[in-house]
């Protein structure tokens, strides 16, 4: 009875650790849905030549996460 309890606990622990490992290894990976949404956002812009509209699109131009996958590439190389 005691053995069964220990085995069950170990099994649960293994599942939890496996789950955590998957989450941690994927934390830098952008999901396909998010990636598509992100690219659509980059492609979405007004065609107006109104200064305020141009300014707004300039403000919304994302330049900080252009190479977010670089860490993943480095991980694969190591």
Provide the mask over 41-60, with x wherever binding to other proteins is found by CB under 8 A and - wherever it is not.
-xx-x-xxxxx-xxx-xx--
CB 18 within 8 A of CB 12: no
Q: Which is nearer to other proteins, 8 or 46 (CB)?
A: 46
d(C-alpha 15, C-alpha 17), whole Å? 5
Q: Which is nearer to other proteins, 19 or 69 (CB)?
A: 69
CB 63 within 8 A of CB 20: no
Q: Is residue 33 close enough to count as binding other proteins by CB under 8 A?
A: no
d(C-alpha 40, C-alpha 46), whole Å? 13
Q: Is residue 37 close enough to count as binding other proteins by CB under 8 A?
A: no
Total residue count of the chain as it appears in this document: 78
Q: Which residues are at the interface with other proteins (CB under 8 A)?
A: 30, 35, 38-39, 42-43, 45, 47-51, 53-55, 57-58, 61-63, 66-70, 72-74, 76-77
């Amino acid at each position: 009875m005691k053995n069964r309890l220990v085995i069950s606990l170990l099994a649960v622990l293994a599942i939890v650790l496996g789950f955590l490992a998957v989450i941690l290894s994927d934390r830098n990976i952008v999901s396909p849905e998010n990636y598509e949404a992100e690219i659509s956002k980059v492609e979405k812009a007004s065609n107006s030549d109104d200064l305020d509209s141009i300014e707004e699109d300039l403000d919304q131009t994302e330049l900080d996460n252009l190479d977010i996958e670089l860490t993943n590439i480095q991980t694969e190389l190591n």
